[in-house]
Structure 1
Amino acid sequence: MKFTEAKLEQAFIELLENEGFPHCLGNTISRSDDEVLIEEDLKNYLLNRYKKEQLTEIEAQSIILQLKTLSSADLYESNKKIMQWLADGFILKREDRKQKDIHIELIDYSGLDPQRKSNNLDNIVAEQQAKYSKDHNIYKFVNQLEIVGTEKRIPDGIIYINGLPIVVFEFKSAIREEATIHNAFEQLTIRYKRDIPELFKYNAFCIISDGVNNKAGSFFAPYEFYYAWRRVALSAYNAQAEGLAKEVDGIDSMFTLVQGMLNQNRLRDIIQNFIYIPDTSKKDEKIVCRYPQYYAARVLYENIKKAEKQLDGSGGNGKGGTYFGATGSGKSFTMLYLTRLLMKSEYFASPTIVLITDRTDLDDQLSGQFTNAKSFIGDNNVKSVKSRAELRVLLQDRQSGGVFLTTIHKFTQDTELLTERTNVICISDEAHRTQTNLDQKVKVTSKGVKKTFGFAKYLHDSLPNATFVGFTGTPIDATLDVFGKVVDAYTMTESVRDEITVPLVYEGRPVYNAAERLAEAQKHGFKVAIIPKGNTPKKAVKGMKIIPVAYLYQALQYLAENI
């Protein structure tokens, strides 16, 4: 069977119907040709969701009008504002000014972790005078919707939630050599952007697919930042409640994209917590999480809950878990997403977070990113700490809140207590290098015996009831002893598969004078030689074990198993 665009579209329709997105043909939607909202769905959702608050039709219409008023001429800023409203909601000033204001959510997040209401929410002022699922949201997958802007355009598919066009799909056939998913990307970001920009005011992210290659990314991102979603289960290490982890290639990645990223609960979670737009940006940056970042942040969040200590001695052991992230895992964004989850959580009630690195350049990088993410994090007190004394001042008398970035080297032999609070979470980057040395060191000098400890010992003594989380690319035993077990991982193999890391390629070719070289090595006492398979000697070399290999991984595997 030829996998045409029509058949690909039908495959997505069926998969999304299985995830609870009823299919609607574009020509069945009641709307004007230039309208991208399904206003009736949005109005019905608002009136049903806020029935107890007696939201009026005029107030619902005021919200819709406010959304439509945002200009598509400044598409990035309008999308930034709508994404903020989608994630955190806004305050509605009532039509009857005597009535209490309402915190409005454009998407019902019931069933997800409860979150604290953000400070400094926008206000929307009302003018004076379907069938619902359990979370009140109205979900639809609409295909072939004709939209008239400067030109008529017909997106292949759109996921609507409560009448808002949240995800836009563009398909290309894998059997047509002249049509690639890069062409799908160009269709979205060049022609649709030019002709129907209004559609992308409300867009969370886009999906491009030819069936074999299936990628998601921000509408504002370059093509190389569109990625596959290769996992369904919560964790490759701990696949509780969601079945076994799936990490796949090819056409199977279409299933993991739909069942993983577009699962209704996960999609709502991504919209609420995993799309980062900086406070200020000269490059129209909008970062949609990749699957390793999503799952790592979620698993660590749950593990921190279990590990948190209590002053009465109950609770956990303070070991929040270790995340093993190889090159390309995007650890800094994972830390940022985790920080938002912690700071917004009702459970943690506005904790204090200390981010610790072991190098000044890493501290500068994280500081620049986090101090430009105050709105996303939900706390205006995000600060790079220059000294231990400054950190002590910041923590003294503080009962909640604050995100402080520092280096491990500031925890020297000053052991004075910083705080005994339990709602302090320390997130350590490159945790294997300098943040695991808890053991005592004894140095004998002419002046006598001097006892010292590593940086990590002073850190733990200064924050005795904190919960410690480690990010590392090298999870040695000492890392696990301090931070707890590896709760999730992103390997180099996955990084290569996701085209983030360039693969290391080895071609085993025979070398000249191999027999003489082996004899020379044997004279110098070498006992093992790993050689190209084409140089395998016909006779055994006395006193030397010969390991012939055709591929680099075979040599590395031997070394890993025998050294």
Structure 2
Amino acid sequence: MPTPGEHKTVQARILEYAEATGWSIVSREEAEQRRGFETNLPPAERAKGCSLFFDNLLVEKVREFNPRYSDGKGALLGEFQHLHNNIYGNQEFVEYLRNHGKFFDHEENRERDLILIDYDDPKNNVYEVTEEWAYDNGHYGTREDVVFLINGIPVLVIECKNASKDEAIALGVDQIRRYHRETPELFVPQQLFTATDAIGFSYGVTWNTVRRNIFNWKNKEVGNLEAKVKSFCAIPQLLAFLKDYIVFAEKDEELNKYILRQHQTGAVDAAIVRALQPERTRGLVWHTQGSGKTFTMIKTAERLFREKAADKPTVLLMIDRNELEDQMLKNLAALGLGNLEHASSIAKLNQLLKDDYRGIVVSMIHKFRDMPADLNTRSNIYVLIDEAHRTTGGDLGNFLMAGLPNATFLGFTGTPVDKTTYGKGTFKTFGCEDDKGYLHKYSIADSIEDGTTLPLYYQLAPNEMLVPHETLDEEFLSLAEAEGVADIEELNKILERAVNLKNFLKGKERIQKVAQFVAQHYRENVEPLGYKAFLVGVDREACAHYKHALDQVLPPEYSEVVYTGSNNDSALLKEFHLDPKKERQIRKSFCKLDQQPKILIVTEKLLTGFDAPVLYAMYLDKPMRDHTLLQAIARVNRPYENEAQEMVKPHGFVLDFVGIFDKLEKALAFDSEEINAIVKNLKLLMVLFQNKMEQKAPEYLALIEQNFNDKDVDTLIEHFRDPERRKEFFREYKAIEMLYEIISPDAFLRPFLDDFASLSAIYSIVRKAYTNTITVDREFQRKTNALVQEHISSQSFSNPLEPVLINSETIELIKAQQGGGGSKVINLVKSIEKFAEENSDDPFLIAMAERARLVQESFEQRQTSTSEALEALLQELEKNETRKHEQAEKGFDELTFFVYRTLLDAKVNNPEAVSIKIKAAFLSLPNWKRSENSLRELRKQITFAIYAECDELDQVTPIVDELFTLLEKADRIG
């Protein structure tokens, strides 16, 4: 049965659906002509030096939109060519796309905005889509599957993959990453990318291909390519992305690029609609922590400020933390907004409002205190309040409403509204005009489902370390003033009065025990996974004591203390004071996988707003509840992936030394549905592991009957010959392995160790047999690898898949080898591939390895029988032996002989003489791999040498292309 191809299944359909939504299809041939391809060059060279745009259309639209633009045709294109081929050049190009570029009006002797896209009247733009968008920078060539252009500017690329391929989307994204590395010029104008296999549809922005920033485009109909293309590529949607929803921000002194996701753009749109409704002036947006709430607020503020219907408004961005205030100002400044003020004091805030300032004002929420009534009665004042559940405390809400009586108030919160009196106040203030209290909601469950955040699992510490139930209840959980506690400062005041509770937590013997337990747990459970941890002490003094205790059982560089110091501190506290520079360095280093520290000891600082995806574990030794607990544990729920280390963070983990999670209903006063989505007991993972080992593993373990001898390997080769069956096994095994990694070491695992080790050995054999050189499935995780090594050393596993040496005796050796034909097929393919890698300067072997892979592919798809596949591979070995003798007789080296055989098979006249000429050309241009001019000259000499002796001239270019394709593969392998 034929398998679906990229073009038929995906690429052609995308063009069809795009055309149905208003995009005009431009044929590949027409696109190449409009980009200035050199048609007199061989096909492989025609893309060199071509334009990245449809030049004539671009210039035509510039003159149409900018009647006073008078520069020559090449002036603007020249400006674009001088932009850096990196994220900074891309950022500048976004400014052009948003019509913030400039040109000089000679007639009026002043600068004007350069309009490239008409956002006000979109029908004035030209929308085109084409395929096979090729580009060659002289070192590398790239061919993008589908490209969308607006007014001749490429803005979106879609990489299409065959739906029958394993991990097709991941491979598509890998190609996008390779395009960035090899032809970065393409991604100066291009802003978005998607990868699709007709089932999945992942999207992101160029210059950010980290997995956690690549998202699935959600549509009601799963797998419906038409619906996804027609919604994602809809002209209004794409214009909105370009104009509003791509953002740049600095993090750790590096520029990053992001795209707002569907829940973020939905909230911004809802907020704009609400703000412009005169009869409604309240709204509450709940977007769970880690889902990009800050960018949602920034974009809401920017769009409100630019909105014509808002009529030059005042937008107040009220923040609850100093750090966030600074970051907010930086991010807003990056948007190029001229009307931006920082109200650094109550007096300045009042003065700006009194003076009727129009623009965006950033300030701290507490600066509303004592604001005079009716300070500004305008209705086009929009107040966006971060962590809105905190504004209802005391009289702050009253000052807010009285001072700006006609303003619109939009509250944003990262935690769900609680069921306490505080929560009711939040709904009363912000959620009173919506049926269910929320203007827009993106819950914890939504976030986990989308992969925006990870699930959280907890485990209770041993009983002797937990706070006595009655003490925890009396001094904390049952206190009315502790209900709905909204920030760390409030929490600390409550804990100051909990004398018995704090004395227990800070007992010297207990601190020693907890420190030892933390050190052992980190070393055995967390460090092998590669991640980092927080230790949360009840107060600063506890943090200092924990640092001393940890230093006795871990290297001192493993941990650092981070808290706010004071001049009146004791000698103990001053020991860990940090200057701002040192603290910034610690924070930055902690976020990097390969740098110390591995554990941060904190009590207040960093428990809100600190985003470190490498943070996996929190050792919680501070009583917390409601919003403070949720904000703290959300530090560990950020997704993380490291391709180099082959790491994907499975979830966040909290080890509770207080006993808070033993009383979840009291500790988290939210709806039970939300609590269940927030955090789960680690015991659930144990149950899941046991279920999988008892329900899924037996069918695979039953395949092993003779302790992994050659017969068992034959059985595995045949059983997993079907790619779908293999894919399901890989998926199930990886789920079981990750559960083992999380739970281990634990006595619970003991009954399962032998079976798990055997299952891992099965995985190892199948993976080595069937995965190609692009490794999609990951190697064993660290703890599993140690178990497998121990298991293998105690057993005598045979390994019939050990590669054989390729030489004159190989054929007889394979025939005499025990085992079935399937094992021999796989073994021969792997052996040929390995031999080609070891001799990567021999194009003949590279070509032979390519043919061997095709044989395996045909074997796996059952298009070829086992005997036929084995016979085809043995013939390849015979051909290699024959060519070695012939090559020796002629005295040719590998390259010359390969060229000779290629020319001979193509029936080129005088193949020996032509081969010698081609070899001389290679010798005369030794820098051809590094020099564009040398490569071009080399291809020209080779092409002319073959032309002179070839009767079928249309064969010349394919011969040259095949030669250089193999040489490129050989170069990468080598």
Q: TM (normalized to structure 1)?
A: 0.70
Q: Find out whether 1:342 has 2:304 as its counterpart.
A: yes
Q: Any idea what SS the aligned residue of 2:429 has?
A: helix
2:6 equivalent to 1:47: no
Distance 1:424 1:158 in 2: 42
Classify 1:420/1:54 alpha carbon distance in 2 versus 1 (closer, same or farther; 3 Å): closer
Unaligned segments of structure 2, at least 5 residues = 38-46, 418-422, 459-670, 677-974
Shift of 1:143: 0.8
1:387-419 per-position Cα deviation (integer Å, ceiling 9, x unaligned)? 322322333313311322212x34345545543
Aligned to 2:382: 425
The answer for the alignment partner of 1:548 in structure 2 is none
Residues 1:356 and 2:318 are matched in the alignment: yes
Q: 2:119 aligns with which of 109, 121, 145?
A: 109
- Equivalent residue runs for 1:257-336 within 5 Å: 257-278=228-249, 282-307=253-278, 316-319=279-282, 321-336=283-298
Secondary structure in structure 2 of the residue aligned to 1:369 = helix
The one of 396, 409, 422 equivalent to 2:354 is 396
Letter in 1 for 2:21: E
Equivalences for residues 474-553 of structure 1 within 5 A? 474-475=416-417, 478-483=425-430, 484-485=433-434, 486-503=438-455
Displacement of 1:281 after TM fit? 7.3
Residues 340, 377 of structure 1: 8 Å contact kept = no
Is the Cα–Cα contact under 8 Å of residues 279 and 375 in structure 1 kept in the other structure? no
Matches within 5 A, 1:31-46: 31-32=36-37, 33=47, 34-46=50-62
CA distance in 1, matches of 2:136, 2:128: 21
Could you tell me how far 1:163 is from its partner in structure 2? Answer: 1.1
Q: Deviations over 1:499-558 (max 9, x none)?
A: 12224689xxxxxxxxxxxxxxxxxxxxxxxxxxxxxxxxxxxxxxxxxxxxxxxx9569
Amino acid at match of 2:78: L
Deviation (angstroms), 1:258: 2.5
Report the equivalent of 2:159: 170
For residues 415-450 of structure 1, give each alpha carbon's deviation from its aligned partner in whole angstroms, at most 9, with x where no partner exists: 45543333321111222x23346xxxxxxxxxxxxx
Displacement of 1:105 in angstroms is 1.5
TM-score (norm 2): 0.42
Q: Decide whether aligned partners of structure 1 residues 174 and 505 sit closer, same or farther in structure 2, where only a CA change above 3 A counts.
A: farther
Aligned mate of 1:9, from 8, 11, 14: 11
Cα distance per residue 1:333-389 (max 9 Å; x no partner): 1101111101222222332222224x43xx522431333321416235242x44322
Q: Which amino acid aligns with 1:227?
A: F
Partner of 2:400: 459
C-alpha deviation, 1:278, in angstroms: 3.0
Secondary structure of the structure 1 residue equivalent to 2:359 = coil
Provide the rounded CA distance (Å) in 2 between the counterparts of 1:40 and 1:558.
56
Instruction: Determine the C-alpha separation between the residues in 2 that align with 1:282 and 1:40.
Output: 39
The amino acid across from 1:371 in the alignment is: K
**3-state SS of 1:156 partner:** strand
Counterpart Cα distance in 2 of 1:97 and 1:83: 28
Q: Give the partner amino acid of 2:198.
A: G
CA contact (8 A) 1:206 1:219 kept: yes
2:223 alignment counterpart: 251
User: 2:82 matched to which residue of 1?
Assistant: 69
Relative distance call for 1:174 and 1:284 in structure 2 (3 A) is farther
The structure number with the bigger radius of gyration is: 2
Q: For each residue in 1:467-503, what CA deviation from the matched residue of structure 2 results, as whole angstroms up to 9, or x when unmatched?
A: 1011234255543432332332223332122112224
Contact 1:324 1:490 in 2 (8 A): yes
What CA deviation, in whole Å up to 9, does each residue of 1:46-77 have, x standing for no partner? 23334xx3655x455422332223232xx221
Q: 1:47·1:60 contact (CA, 8 Å) conserved in 2?
A: no
- Whether the 8 Å contact between 2:180 and 2:207 is mirrored in structure 1 is no
Letter in 2 for 1:345: E
Cross-structure match for 1:119: none
Aligned residue in 2 for 1:194: 181
| SS of 2:123 mapped into structure 1 | coil
Residue ranges of structure 1 left out of the alignment (5+ in a row)? 112-133, 232-245, 308-315, 438-452, 507-554
Distance, in Å, in 2 between the alignment partners of 1:342 and 1:558 is 32
Among candidates 378, 381, 403, match of residue 340 of structure 2: 381
Say which SS state the counterpart of residue 297 (structure 1) adopts: helix
Aligned to 1:131: none
Q: What does residue 916 of structure 2 align with?
A: none
For residue 406 of structure 1, the aligned residue among 364, 372, 382 is 364
- Residue identity over aligned pairs, in percent, reads 22
Q: Using CA pairs below 8 Å that are at least 6 residues apart, which structure has the higher relative contact order? A: 1
Cα offset, 1:317, TM superposition: 4.6
**Is this contact kept in 2: 1:323–1:471, CA < 8 A?**
yes
Aligned-residue offset at 1:326: 2.8
1:185–1:223 CA contact under 8 A, matched in 2: no
User: Does the aligned pair in 1 maintain the 2:349–2:363 contact within 8 Å?
Assistant: no
CA distance in 2, matches of 1:418, 1:259: 48
The number of residue pairs the alignment matches comes to 435
Instruction: Compare the two structures and name the one with the higher helix fraction.
Output: 2
For the 8 Å contact 1:172–1:180, the answer to whether it is kept is: yes
Report the residue type matching 2:87 in the other structure.
Answer: Y
**Range that drifts further, 216-225 or 388-397:** 388-397
Deviation for aligned residue 1:12: 1.4
Aligned-partner residue type, residue 182 of structure 1: A
Label 1:557 to 1:185 Cα distance change in 2 as closer, same or farther (>3 A): closer
Give the whole-Å Cα distance in 2 for the aligned partners of 1:19 and 1:414.
Answer: 52
Structure-2 separation of matches of 1:500 and 1:559: 18
SS for the counterpart of 1:422 is: coil
User: Does the residue aligned with 2:215 lie in a helix, a strand or coil?
Assistant: coil
Distance 2:73 2:118 in 1: 15
Match of 1:209 among 196, 204, 216: 196
Q: Could you tell me whether the CA contact under 8 Å between 1:344 and 1:378 is conserved in 2?
A: no
Moved more, 29-38 or 389-398: 389-398
Tell me which residue corresponds to 2:170: 182
**Residue matched to 2:90:** 79
State whether residues 135 and 141 of structure 2, in contact with CA within 8 Å, keep that contact through their aligned partners in structure 1: yes
SS in 2 for 1:341: helix
CA displacement 1:273-331 (0-9 Å, x = unmatched): 11111379732301111111111101210110113xxxxxxxx3532x22232344321
RMSD across aligned positions (CA): 2.9
Asked whether the 8 Å contact 2:99–2:117 carries over to 1, the reply is no
CA–CA separation in structure 1 for the residues paired with 2:334 and 2:452 = 29
SS at match of 1:285: strand
Rounded Cα–Cα distance in structure 1 between residues aligned with 2:673 and 2:69: 65
Q: Which amino acid aligns with 1:27?
A: E
Contact 2:54–2:153 (Cα < 8 Å) also in 1: yes
1:145 Cα deviation after fit: 2.0
Q: Determine the C-alpha separation between the residues in 2 that align with 1:418 and 1:280.
A: 37
Aligned to 2:27: 25
Larger fraction in strand: 1
Question: Which residue does 1:526 correspond to in 2?
Answer: none
- For each residue in 1:130-169, what CA deviation from the matched residue of structure 2 results, as whole angstroms up to 9, or x when unmatched? xxxx622111111112211122211111111111110112
